[in-house]
Amino acid sequence: MGKDIKNNPSQKFAVVVGATGNLGRALVKKLRAAGYTIDPIWLEDHHPDATKEESYQKLPPLIHLAVYLAGITHSDNTETMALADWQKVINVNLTGAFLLAKHAFSGLKRGRGVFVTISSINATHPYPRRAAYAASKSALEGLTRELAVEWGEYAISTHCLRLGHLSKLMKTTEFNPRMFPLIQKRIPSGRLIEPEDVASYILWLAEGGAPAMSGAVVDFDPAYVINIKSIN
């Protein structure tokens, strides 16, 4: 990475943690098409553990975009949930984002970069049996806001996308074949979010689409939550 920067100072560099998931693959494709060089260690199936600090020791020295997409969920009643299951969700969804922020700071400062995290409508409208997931996403929103204040003087902007329902589920989500039709009935357009939709928005942010904005949590949702509230 250092050699690439020296040979081509105009090159754009991105770090995408969670690059092997549905959303990650869509984002990587968009970034590559836009000319970004992506930190390769997160692109492999056997990528580093996002919850371990040593995984972030060799980030690029120049970073224009750092995105934390890694996330898992766990379904259980709060009163029966094992502490280990709670901690695993917190570690993947929140601690990993903190570690990326901590170790990407110097590269983002040099690149006057953009830091992006992914929240969920569960942060404000949680489903039952999702205590760890809802808590981790709420905390991630708080982290993103705090970093906007802390990093503003270095021209680093932070953004959190509070996603509605994607057309493709996370690997750890329990699949219910009746779920998507019910959700689509509550979406005014009837359209679920495609990973490419989110990828295009992140690229827009990275390319300076919102230079006056930082610390915002954007409801990336086709009015599903709004419609539920109006029905209730």
Residues forming the active site: 133
For residue 152, what are its two tokens? 């503003």
Q: Backbone phi, then psi, for 113, in 5-degree steps?
A: -90, -175
Could you write out the DSSP letters of every residue in 199-210?
HHHHHHHHTTS-
Which helix or strand (DSSP H or E) is residue 26 part of? helix 22-33
Could you write out the DSSP letters of every residue in 126-141?
PPTT-HHHHHHHHHHH
9, 12, 16, 20 alpha-carbon torsion, rounded to 10°:
-110
Query: What is the DSSP code (8-state) at residue 49?
Result: P
Measured CA to CA, the distance from residue 9 to residue 43 in angstroms comes to 23
Query: What is the DSSP code (8-state) at residue 193?
Result: B
Answer yes or no: are the C-beta atoms of 160 and 140 closer than 8 Å.
yes
Q: For residue 210, what are the CA distances in angstroms to 47, 113, 201?
A: 31, 12, 10
Q: Backbone phi, then psi, for 99, in 5-degree steps?
A: -65, -40
